[in-house]
């Protein structure tokens, strides 16, 4: 299990997507010098002190993505299921990126603010690439196992 490269990919994806729970995604600077912070669970005024608006769909998507990535580590004996689940996870990650972009643009338009993205924005993109690489590696493993079954 641990010697497979896709296991390392799934573990890194779990860490990257799980770290989004702890860091702010973006900041909005409004005209009257107030700073709104966009986290995984909503928009906050001045850090976590003043709550402005909660966003539930990104919370659900991020939780599902992180859970699927973690569970995929232990599905190494069911390679076809592992590939299918991770294709769904790949689509969910792209949906998560699009949803966050929509929310940030919408909040920026409502508040007439300037958007400043943090470094955490690249984590879903890195996770998408790693998921694709993991799917390819699982496919290679499955092809190898099927070719060995043909020889017998």
Whole-angstrom distance, CA of residue 84 vs CA of residue 29: 41
Q: What does the pLDDT read at residue 113? A: 83
SS3 14: helix
Cα-Cα-Cα-Cα dihedral sign, residues 96, 97, 99, 103: positive
Give residue 42's pLDDT: 82
| Residue 82 DSSP SS3 | helix
Residues of the chain with pLDDT under 50: none
Please give the pLDDT value at position 146. 83
Domain residue spans of the chain: 5-23+58-112+119-143
Determine the pLDDT at residue 84: 93
The pTM (predicted TM-score) of the whole model is 0.86
Degrees (nearest 5) of the Cα angle 113, 119, 120? 95
Task: Please say whether the dihedral angle defined by the alpha carbons of residues 70, 128, 123 and 121, taken in this order, is positive or negative.
Answer: negative
- The pLDDT assigned to 47 comes to 53
């Amino acid at each position: 299990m641990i010697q497979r490269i896709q296991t390392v990919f799934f573990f890194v994806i779990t860490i990257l997507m799980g770290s989004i729970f702890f860091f702010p995604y973006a900041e909005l600077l409004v005209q009257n010098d107030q700073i709104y912070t966009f986290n995984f669970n909503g928009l906050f005024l001045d850090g976590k002190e003043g709550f402005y608006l909660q966003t539930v769909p990104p919370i659900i998507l991020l939780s599902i993505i992180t859970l699927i990535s973690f569970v995929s580590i232990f599905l190494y004996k069911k390679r076809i299921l592992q590939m299918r689940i991770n294709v769904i996870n790949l689509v969910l990650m792209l949906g998560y990126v699009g949803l966050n972009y929509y929310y940030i643009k919408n909040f920026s338009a409502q508040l007439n603010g300037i958007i400043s993205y943090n470094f955490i924005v690249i984590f879903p993109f890195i996770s998408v690439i790693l998921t694709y690489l993991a799917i390819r590696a699982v496919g290679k493993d499955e092809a190898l196992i099927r070719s060995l079954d043909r020889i017998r």
